[in-house]
């Protein structure tokens, strides 16, 4: 049994679907019944789990040959988000230690090797640290920033012709990747007959690095009107994030992350494996624009 936590997410859905297409049994772990429709159609076994509940997590991994684990995100407005996420990591690590699968894949982030100054990415560092002692064939798949994150800015860009960003300067290329490519890579790695005692660390990014200027130019081409990139002033970051619904604590986690990112402190860890996704920025943005304009039911 292949157990996929976060199976309703952008990457998790792709992993689950790809494994099912290969004829493999998949248990899709989700939080709410409303997330399970597509997964059920693909033939997944559906399990509801509260990742803060040890009994719930232990039941989800029972009988697993392979498990895909992630650092579960919580709502941006939650003032105790980091505390809750740490509890989820501890709960998952405890359950996996007591009942280790043969194969374990952790979805992680660029910069997860750093132990300070990375804001929200520090939670991925803690996830990796918690998974490494588990007696299993462990792969840590570190992904660059997801291209799908630009969906948050599309309403502003389409309405105003301006693309705000915390990346600075706007012409500096940075690594990014499609969540679909992360899910496809994870499905392959879960089936990989890799042996060895040391954790395998793999970094994945897209076919080429892009800048905010590249994103704005691509959106402009797709929309048929100019889009201008805008690097938000550093002093305004926290206030703007709180205005759009982030708690003060969560806003500070993002501020810390982008301070380090813009200083060039987050990239591929030297000596680790690297793979590249195939999805282009244009194809991902075109899909996001189509989804944003689709009529709601």
**Tell me, what's the pLDDT at 276?**
98
pLDDT in tens, 95-128: 999 999 999 999 999 999 999 999 999 999 999 9
Evaluate if residue 10 carries a pLDDT over 60: yes
DSSP the chain: -EEEETTTSHHHHHHHHHHHHTT--EEEEESSGGG-HHHHHTTPEEEE--TT-HHHHHHHHTT-SEEEE------TT-TTHHHHHHHHHHHHHHHHHHS--SEEEEEEETTTT--SS-GGGHHHHHHHHHHTTSSSEEEEEEE-EEGGGGGGGHHHHHHHSEEEES-SSTT--B-EE-HHHHHHHHHHHHH-----SSPEEEEEE-SS-B-HHHHHHHHHHHHTS--EEEE--GGGHHHHHHHTT--HHHHHHHHHHHHHHHTT--SPPTTSEEEE----HHHHHHHHHHHHHSPP-
CATH number for the domain harbouring residue 9: 3.40.50.720
Q: Which domain holds residue 177?
A: 2-293
User: How many domains would you assign to the chain?
Assistant: 1
Which residue did the predictor score with more confidence, 275 or 81?
275
- Structure confidence at residue 295 as a pLDDT band (50, 70, 90): low
- Structure confidence at residue 59 as a pLDDT band (50, 70, 90): very high
């Amino acid at each position: 049994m292949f157990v996929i936590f976060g199976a309703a997410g952008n990457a998790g859905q792709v992993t689950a679907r790809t494994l099912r297409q290969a004829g493999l049994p998949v248990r899709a772990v989700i939080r709410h019944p409303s997330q399970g429709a597509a997964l059920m159609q693909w033939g997944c076994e559906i399990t509801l789990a509260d990742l803060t509940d040890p009994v719930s997590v232990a039941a989800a991994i029972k009988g697993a040959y392979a498990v895909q684990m992630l650092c579960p995100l919580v709502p941006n407005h939650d003032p105790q988000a980091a505390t809750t996420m740490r509890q989820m990591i501890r709960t998952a690590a405890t359950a996996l230690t007591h009942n280790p699968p043969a194969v374990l894949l952790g979805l992680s982030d660029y910069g997860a090797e750093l132990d300070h100054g990375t804001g929200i990415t520090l939670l991925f560092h803690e996830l990796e640290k918690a998974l490494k002692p588990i007696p299993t064939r462990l792969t840590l798949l570190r992904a660059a920033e997801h291209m799908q994150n630009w969906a948050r800015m599309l309403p502003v860009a389409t309405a105003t012709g301006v693309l705000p960003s915390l990346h600075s300067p706007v012409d500096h290329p940075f690594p990014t990747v499609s969540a679909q490519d992360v899910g496809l890579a994870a499905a392959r790695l879960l089936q990989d007959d890799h042996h060895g005692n040391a954790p395998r660390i793999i970094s994945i990014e897209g076919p080429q690095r892009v800048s905010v200027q590249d994103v704005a130019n691509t959106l402009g081409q797709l929309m048929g009107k100019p889009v201008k990139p805008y690097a938000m002033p550093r002093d305004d970051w926290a206030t703007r994030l709180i205005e759009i619904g982030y708690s003060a604590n969560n806003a500070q986690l993002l501020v810390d992350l982008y301070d380090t990112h813009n200083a060039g402190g987050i990239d591929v860890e030297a000596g680790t494996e690297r793979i590249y996704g195939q999805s282009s920025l244009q194809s991902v943005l075109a899909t996001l624009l189509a989804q944003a304009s689709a009529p709601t039911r």
